[in-house]
Amino acid sequence: MKLTYRQVLSRPDADGRCRIVVDVAWEGLRVKLPTGVSCRPAHFSPEARQVVQRKDPDATRLNNELAKVEGAVNTAFTLASAENRLVTEAELKAVARAALGKKPAGRQSAPEVAAPTTALEFYALWQAENPDQTYNSARRYRQVVGHLEAYHPNWKLTELARKDFLEYLAHLAALGLVDSTVSKHVKFLRECFRLAGKPLPAWLKIKTRYGRAPALQQHELRALMVLELTDDDLRAEAALFTFQTLLLLRDSDLRALRPHHVRLVDLPGYPATPVLTFHQAKTGDEVRVPLPPAAAVLWHGWEGQPPVPVQQERNRRMKQLARVAQLTRSFVRVQYVRGEAAETVLPLYKVITTHTARHTGADMVMLGSGGDSNLKEKALGHAGVYGHDALERYGPALLRAWEKVLGAPEKNAPTLAGTVHQPAPSNGAEGVVFRRVSYR
């Protein structure tokens, strides 16, 4: 199945807006569906992620309307595949009209879609409800659906009983899945009940424990930052990991950063300091942290848009990078299977992930601040710490902590990071001037 957006230019409205339609082609068939969306031709980008460009003042709403139609079409094909049947033109026209909130055309009523019951059907419904999910972010549920279908094809999940649930948990444990992974299966099953409008069973839950996450030590972080690398992918990952560590970022927050998230702020003792302001993807809480010099250099080199590959690729590169850096000290990985701890001794490079950067950053802030746990929590973006304390008070403390960990900047010395910021020009223009320095 292929969807193609196109614009009907022959009949623009009084404002010069033209209708957008979507062509759906499958199995030698083709149908044109209305979307209810119009925009000016200059704002139409059929191949882009956002079909209506942001130049259009109503772009967000219009793209959401397009996503509704596309989601309805995808759901129709997913359900047809699960039922081993072909989709009809009439069915697609009906679901498109339903997505637009219109009544069925003529006297015919839209074919009633049976209430979802299987994992595939619920996954299709979840996709339609979350049209902006990236391939990577939706991966966790695709894996869950694969396990459910392999265990019990076409299982009617809303008829799940406690006995069935416990047997499924035992099956996952027999496969060697740890509790943190099993929790994703439980979350999906809870989503199924929600999507079906059924009350959530009190027993449909699992208590998940996590072992201590790996983190680099001070000398390991400093060695990684000055590591000579010839591989472009590893050099790029070293830069991403360094930046993520210095700002204590989650991978999801790192990949969401854009140029406008950093602005210059005058802090006591640190004039014209780049400060990162963003809202965490996980909690929605606002975080404001100053960029240490090495992080400012990287941000400048990226022009405010870090080149972040998919997380699986980052984790692969990170392990390879750690191996090149000879991070081979033993780490005791603790994982829980059905609540029981299982210990495995592994070299550090085998257990490092992108999240290691956030844990490393937290440890380093504690080390550099003399154990100020409130400062660490503030840098992590955890709510309820320092209240709404002014950046002018905790910002310099964070920068001083990093100076103690990495050493004070040394002028005119080569470095992996390259350059650091200097005070803004006296003419008042906002900007960051860079020159080469490194850390002792």
> pLDDT tens-digit profile of 305-317?
999 998 888 999 9
Say whether pLDDT at 434 is over 80.
no
Which CA distances in Å does 302 have to 237, 346, 395, 438?
Answer: 13, 34, 23, 18
CATH value of 218-439 in 1.20.1380, 1.10.443, 1.10.8, 2.40.170: 1.10.443
pLDDT score at 135: 58
Structure tokens given for 285: 């809480």
Q: Which residue has the higher pLDDT, 416 or 318?
A: 318
Across 205-229, average pLDDT: 91
C-beta of residue 272 within 8 angstroms of C-beta of residue 399: no
Across 21-37, average pLDDT: 87
Per-residue pLDDT band for 263 (boundaries 50, 70, 90) equals very high
Ranges 193-202, 263-272, 294-303, 420-429: which has the least confidence: 420-429
Give the separation between CA 79 and CA 84, rounded to whole angstroms.
9
Across 424-432, average pLDDT: 34
Crossing angle between the packed helical segments 179-195 and 119-129, to the nearest 10 degrees: 80
Say whether pLDDT at 103 is over 80.
no
Say whether pLDDT at 440 is over 70.
no
Cα–chain center distance at 428? 36
Ranges 156-165, 166-175, 276-285: which has the least confidence: 276-285
Which CA distances in Å does 374 have to 272, 384, 411, 437?
Answer: 25, 10, 32, 30
Scan for tokens 């963003």, then name that residue.
Answer: 278
Ranges 60-69, 126-135, 386-395: which has the least confidence: 126-135
Residue ranges of the chain that CATH labels 1.10.443: 218-439
Per-residue pLDDT band for 27 (boundaries 50, 70, 90) equals confident
Ranges 88-102, 271-285, 336-350, 391-405: which has the least confidence: 88-102
HEC string of 187-245?
HHHHHHHHHCCCCCCCCCCCCCCCCCCCCCCHHHHHHHHCCCCCCHHHHHHHHHHHHHH
Question: Nearest CA to 10 among 41, 46, 44, 50?
Answer: 41
- Paired with 24 in beta bridges are 3, 31
Structure tokens given for 195: 């999507």
Contacts with 99 (C-beta within 8 Å, 6 or more apart), sequence order: 68, 69, 71, 72
Residue ranges of the chain that CATH labels 1.10.150: 116-208
Say whether pLDDT at 198 is over 80.
yes
Among 3-7, 60-64, 198-202, 319-323, top mean pLDDT goes to 319-323
Give the separation between CA 58 and CA 29, rounded to whole angstroms.
33
Give 59's DSSP letter. Answer: H
Across 3-10, average pLDDT: 88
Burial of 229 (0-12, 13-18, 19+ CB in 10 A): middle
Which CA distances in Å does 194 have to 68, 148, 203, 295?
Answer: 20, 18, 15, 43
**CATH placement of domain 116-208:** 1.10.150
3-state helix, strand, coil in the chain (%, to 5): 45, 20, 40
The percentage of residues in the chain with a pLDDT greater than 70, rounded to a whole number, is: 85
Per-residue pLDDT band for 340 (boundaries 50, 70, 90) equals confident
Say whether pLDDT at 202 is over 50.
yes
Phi/psi of residue 67, nearest 5 degrees: -65, -35
Say whether pLDDT at 339 is over 70.
yes
C-beta of residue 183 within 8 angstroms of C-beta of residue 208: yes
Give me the chain's average pLDDT, please: 83
Residue 160, Cβ neighbours under 10 Å: how many? Answer: 17
Across 171-186, average pLDDT: 91
Cα angle 281-287-288, degrees, rounded to a multiple of 5: 145
Q: How many helices (H) and strands (E) does the chain have?
A: 15, 11
Residue 126, Cβ neighbours under 10 Å: how many? Answer: 20
Extract long-range pairs of 382-388: CB within 8 Å, 24+ residues apart: 382/285, 383/283, 383/285
Per-residue pLDDT band for 133 (boundaries 50, 70, 90) equals low
Rg (CA), the chain: 26
DSSP calls for 290-329: EPPHHHHHHHHHHTT------HHHHHHHHHHHHHHTT---
